[in-house]
Structure 1
Amino acid sequence: MTSLLNALNAGKTSLLTNQKSIEIVGNNIANVNTEGYSRQRAELMQIPAVNFGDFFVGQGVTVSDVSRDYSVFINRQLQDKTIEYGEETGKSSSLSELERIFSVSEDNLASQINDFFDAWQELTANPSGEVERDVVLQRGQLLGEAFASITNELDTVVSNMNTEIIGEVEYLNEKITEIAKLNDRIQLVEISGQTANAARDQRDLIIQDLSETLGVQTYTDNRGMLCVQLPGGKPLVQGNLASTIKTVTVGTNVNLQLETTGVTMDIGLENLGGKFKGMFEMRDVFISDLRDDLNTLAIDLTSAVNTEHATGYGSDGVTGRLFFNDITALPAGEVASRNVKLAISDASEVAAAGNPTAAPGDNENALKIAQLEVTHHVATTGDTFDNFFAKMVANVGIEAARNDLALSGAEDAALQLQNLRDGFSGVSLEEEMIDLIQFQRGFESSAKFLSTVDEMMNALLQLKG
């Protein structure tokens, strides 16, 4: 009778184990399209045997754990490639705008520079002509407007980036706080010997998101909690404590600070990765260099024209006048490329002549100014005005082309790694159907076994009766 009771108990454990396994398979099938879900498996373990007479008799089977298919190696690779993809994404939108601003079309700053010096060239043919003098003034004004237009558009690009950064920070803080909460939840669940698979999947998904945006790094502390930090080592999550990212306005830019345990630290470019690193590099390095080059071109061009213009004479016989306002020493906060404006307003003030008499055919000074387009070299590089701007356009084009190539490569690599992760950790309906049939047969066999044992016990009881 005792042996039948042992058999009954073994059949019961088999029935319950197969039922639990079927539930796990059902959960896998239900989450086949859930982002970040890792396939779960029932880990089966036989119940230790007991000494029964001269034999050790088994006591059945139990589910010792519910594990998830997870590869640290694959997920690390995916995290690294996601950081790279995020960085190129952060540069992409602003580069598209810069390509439009620094286009190679006919209506760009280079064409305005050409038109300006062409107007002086035409003035050499008729130095006393009112129409030609008016055209010089108009072309000078249009040139200043072209400089200001590019400067304003660069400001718009930077302003849009600042707005995007502010919008992202609130979302990032929510994710950082969520990781701290998940750390706490996972520890509470697993300290009792269970496995918090759903919480771990959710945490991994958030880490991948933060990797793309901030380029975060992760490690496990001595309590088994996942710690998250910025590339430079500044902590975002320590156990169940979350730091807060804040935005601060410095001049016209938005910068980041990290507030953790009552301490506030600046977050510099060296502390960033992913999308934010790409955006800050574009804003603080690439676009800043473009601004400097544009200011250099504006100052150099206006200074060269002013130097020659001041030595010439207007049709009124006056000399020493500047053609453009002096932008070599502007007040703090003023931008040179936005202040390319005419210093004269009347056609008679255009200094085309090279001598005080300003004879009708005197075009000596107009020739000197017209020739500046090909004879003058920008001090910092030795290029002509046209070549200097052409290099700016080329730099934007080269960086945009590099970004397109790098973005495409990083996207493909991240997709391949994601497919590799899905192949290892994702749910395969074909495999789940095979497991379902296997556990269903096991359940049916256990039920049949229990039925048989029940019949045997009834027969035994009838014999005793």
Structure 2
Amino acid sequence: MTSSFSGFNVARSGIFAAKKAMEVTANNIANVNTEGYTRQRAVLSSAEAYMLNNMHTNTSGNKVGNGVLVDKIEALRDEFTNSKIVNETSNHDYRQAASDLLSEVETILNQVGTTNINGQMDAYWSAWENLSNDPSNTSLRKNLVQETETLIGLFQEVSGQLRQLQGTSDKKTNGSLESQLNTAVGEVNSLAANIADLNNQIARSEVSGAIANELRDKRQVLVEKLAGYINIDTYYTGDGNLTINCGSHQLVQHTSYNKLYVTDQGKESLSTVSFNPDYPQYSNDPSVAEAVLTYSDSQYNGTVTVTQLAQAHEQYSFLTYHPLTGPLSDFGVSSGSFVLNGREFTVDADKTSLSGLASMINEANIEINASINESGQLILKSNKTGEDSVICSADKSSNLISVLNLQTSKEAKNAIFNYGDREFVTQSNTVSEALPGVTIFLRGTGIADLDMRPIVNSGKLKALMEVRDKSIQGALDSLNNLAYSIMTETNDVHRNGFSLDGETGINFFEPVLYSEVSYPYKDYIQQMAVSDAVKNDLGKIAASGGYFVNDTDRLKTSKGVGDGSNAILIAQLKQGKFFNNGKTTFDSYYNEIVTTVATQSKQYTNEADYSNNMLSQLKTIRSQTSGVSLDEELANLIQFQHSYNAAARVMTTLDEMLDKVVNGMI
């Protein structure tokens, strides 16, 4: 049974529902330009009906509606599209950042507005050719040194700019990638902290069953910003909490978060990102194998079985030589030439001691280290490991190699190891080709489990590390290799020529000590220089090729000016093919360096454009569901206004009816 006032309750509920719906519509209109705002609507339902009685009419068993209820204020979220936008944001920001960074690398290598390295290499070879026409001309000798120092300066300028952009230990400036990486990780930590705080606010706000739509919108905006920095996987719980993982590691768990750190193994190493303030240990047995993980697209978690380590070839002379300062001729060595690792040397046995021979070999930069032990034996050790780096020697006009009677103390060996179901055979114990973004260090034979599941495999963080460790480091390695090869090839020919005073065996470039086995050109550009002997005396430039006085002579000689033939041989090195297994010249190799970066940049740009289109399409799809349409909201506003007015009219009508009953029947 109902009272005479039940109609008022129905009208009142209509007024209230229409008013609430208009408030929601007004809120939508007010937030039409708010970032991340999700359109809301009032969800209405009929109130429970009541049973009519049959006191005055035959209506027993029928029900009459009891008005309208506002069940909830619903945000029209498209969680599926939101998830796709998060993933695509990571991909897009990774590709866009990589494209932008590689544009900077291109600018450095192209050297717009200045003489580039390629052009200066031509000037260097031309200076040698000019000197060959007039070997004694002091101006031409001075010009050669100037062109050489200009070339060195260009190498060092380009290398310095790349290292500054990269952010090596001595060049960590504010604009470097290393600095940007630290800043980006700080942003990730800040976003993670804010998301965890919003998780807490949402949980507290929704205790009573209400939905904290605005807080959820703010959290979604932060999640998408976070995805721009790093790859994330999101998991929502029924109570509104959000868990975020980066790879196999948890970044946000409900109301707490785990900080990311930028760590390195020392000032000479490039940093990586981890959840540990100390450099991460990826191996359960570092005495067998260790790993350095920077960027990576894949999940690497497997076992390394090392069956053999790479080993450098080592030889010793069978006979001992005392005194070490005595001439080689005292031990039966004849003057003349011999070959070591494909390089021809000339030795004057009457003027060269065993220690002098060791110095001659070391200064030649032929990837062999020569020394003399306490027993007076010559020790030759390859600076490269692996079977491709066997020390090769032979007599020519000198019998030096026969007299030395070199014996092998350590054989050249390749490294052999298995990762998963694949076997790898490498020349070095430092392996970076097996797994992209991972460098494996083989330490000993045995088995080690490597957990190299990456934290970073997308987003801006990946772009920073990938360009820093792959693109820039690759360009630096190639430039150092180019400069190192110019030095070694020039010195090899120059040592066999003669200076104006008839001296031979002089290096044109200052020889260098190897800083790392199997990586002889590492950071060479930083120490590249014309030799002190040449800088102090231009007459030491060995432009002459010398000649044999008699047919029976074993050593060439020179008396002053010479014929410039040695300068011609050095100039002809320009056409020599010393790279890519004897297929590429100096000029072509430099062009490859520039082209490689340009190709990478173009690829990233194309991928970024494609990803941008995908992201735009996804946002358009989301906007159709979750975005605010002013036309639609205005139509809704009119609809709810009419509903309000109609409900109010019902209220007025009922009031008039009741007034008639109460006052009109007296």
Q: TM-score range by the shorter chain?
A: over 0.9
Of Structure 1 and Structure 2, which has the larger fraction of its residues in helix? 1
Taking the aligned partners of 2:186 and 2:251, their CA distance within structure 1 comes to: 14
Q: Does 1:258 align with 2:275?
A: yes
Residue 375 of structure 1 deviates from its aligned partner by 2.1
Q: Which amino acid aligns with 1:155?
A: R
Which residue is 1:13 aligned to? 13
1:24–1:86 distance in 2 versus 1, CA, 3 Å = same
Which residue is 2:489 aligned to? 304
Which residue is 2:586 aligned to? 385
Which of 174, 193, 198 aligns to 1:177? It is: 193
State the percentage of identical aligned residues: 28
Residues 328, 336 of structure 1: 8 Å contact kept: no
Residue 13 of structure 1 deviates from its aligned partner by 0.8
Q: Does 1:430 align with 2:631?
A: yes
Which of 604, 611, 614 aligns to 1:403? It is: 604
Taking the aligned partners of 1:185 and 1:380, their CA distance within structure 2 comes to: 64
Q: Does 1:342 align with 2:530?
A: yes
Residues 202, 240 of structure 2: 8 Å contact kept: no
Deviations 1:123-157 (A, max 9, x none): 11111111111111112211211111111011111
Which of 442, 457, 462 aligns to 2:658? It is: 457
Which residue is 2:478 aligned to? 293
Which residue is 1:116 aligned to? 124
Which residue is 1:239 aligned to? 254
Residues 211, 217 of structure 1: 8 Å contact kept: no
* Structure 1 stretches of at least 4 aligned residues deviating more than 6 Å after TM superposition: 262-267, 331-334
Which residue is 1:189 aligned to? 205
Residue 32 of structure 1 deviates from its aligned partner by 0.4
Residues 17, 69 of structure 2: 8 Å contact kept: yes
Taking the aligned partners of 2:280 and 2:139, their CA distance within structure 1 comes to: 63
Deviations 1:91-113 (A, max 9, x none): 13321211112117671111121
Residue 236 of structure 1 deviates from its aligned partner by 0.8
**Bigger mean CA offset, 126-135 vs 326-335:** 326-335
Residue 299 of structure 1 deviates from its aligned partner by 1.6
Taking the aligned partners of 2:542 and 2:238, their CA distance within structure 1 comes to: 79
5+ residue gaps, structure 2: 54-59, 168-175, 283-292, 296-453, 547-556
1:405–1:379 distance in 2 versus 1, CA, 3 Å = closer
Residues 258, 265 of structure 1: 8 Å contact kept: no
Residue 223 of structure 1 deviates from its aligned partner by 4.9
Residue 361 of structure 1 deviates from its aligned partner by 4.4
1:94–1:358 distance in 2 versus 1, CA, 3 Å = farther
Which of 410, 415, 435 aligns to 2:616? It is: 415
Deviations 1:50-95 (A, max 9, x none): 2232222221101101111111222222222211111012213321
Which residue is 1:271 aligned to? 455
Taking the aligned partners of 2:281 and 2:502, their CA distance within structure 1 comes to: 63
Q: Which amino acid aligns with 1:171?
A: E
Secondary structure of 1:410's counterpart equals helix
Deviations 1:435-461 (A, max 9, x none): 000110011111111111112122222
Residues 300, 378 of structure 1: 8 Å contact kept: no
Q: Which amino acid aligns with 2:502?
A: G
Residue 405 of structure 1 deviates from its aligned partner by 1.8
Taking the aligned partners of 2:582 and 2:612, their CA distance within structure 1 comes to: 37
Which residue is 1:366 aligned to? 567
Deviations 1:349-400 (A, max 9, x none): 1000112324434112111111111024136564111111110011011112
Which residue is 1:202 aligned to? 218
Residues 299, 328 of structure 1: 8 Å contact kept: no
Matches within 5 A, 1:77-92: 77-92=84-99
Residues 510, 529 of structure 2: 8 Å contact kept: yes
5+ residue gaps, structure 1: none
Which of 354, 359, 364 aligns to 2:545? It is: 354
Deviations 1:290-309 (A, max 9, x none): 12111211221111111111
**Bigger mean CA offset, 87-96 vs 310-319:** 87-96
Deviations 1:144-185 (A, max 9, x none): 111111110111111211122222233222211111122222
Matches within 5 A, 1:107-146: 107-146=115-154
Secondary structure of 1:420's counterpart equals helix
Secondary structure of 2:4's counterpart equals helix
Secondary structure of 2:570's counterpart equals helix
Taking only aligned residues, the RMSD between alpha carbons, in angstroms, comes to 2.4
Taking the aligned partners of 2:642 and 2:497, their CA distance within structure 1 comes to: 104
Which residue is 1:4 aligned to? 4
Secondary structure of 1:218's counterpart equals strand
Taking the aligned partners of 1:264 and 1:426, their CA distance within structure 2 comes to: 44
Q: Which amino acid aligns with 1:173?
A: N
Residues 482, 586 of structure 2: 8 Å contact kept: yes
Taking the aligned partners of 1:113 and 1:95, their CA distance within structure 2 comes to: 25
Matches within 5 A, 1:44-55: 44-53=44-53, 54=60, 55=62
Residues 132, 564 of structure 2: 8 Å contact kept: yes
Q: Which amino acid aligns with 1:347?
A: L
Taking the aligned partners of 1:263 and 1:198, their CA distance within structure 2 comes to: 40
**Bigger mean CA offset, 344-353 vs 411-420:** 411-420
Q: Which amino acid aligns with 2:252?
A: V
Deviations 1:261-312 (A, max 9, x none): x998898423211111111110111111112111211221111111111111
1:389–1:334 distance in 2 versus 1, CA, 3 Å = closer
Q: Does 1:314 align with 2:499?
A: yes
Taking the aligned partners of 2:100 and 2:187, their CA distance within structure 1 comes to: 20
Taking the aligned partners of 1:204 and 1:222, their CA distance within structure 2 comes to: 16
Larger radius of gyration: 2
Taking the aligned partners of 1:409 and 1:367, their CA distance within structure 2 comes to: 53
Which residue is 1:213 aligned to? 229
1:223–1:198 distance in 2 versus 1, CA, 3 Å = closer
Which of 443, 448, 462 aligns to 2:649? It is: 448
**Bigger mean CA offset, 32-41 vs 395-404:** 395-404
Of Structure 1 and Structure 2, which has the larger fraction of its residues in strand? 2
Residues 314, 358 of structure 1: 8 Å contact kept: no
Taking the aligned partners of 1:413 and 1:334, their CA distance within structure 2 comes to: 42
Taking the aligned partners of 2:279 and 2:649, their CA distance within structure 1 comes to: 67
Residues 497, 542 of structure 2: 8 Å contact kept: yes
**Bigger mean CA offset, 242-251 vs 289-298:** 242-251
Taking the aligned partners of 1:460 and 1:240, their CA distance within structure 2 comes to: 62
Q: Which amino acid aligns with 2:467?
A: M
* Matched residues, number: 463
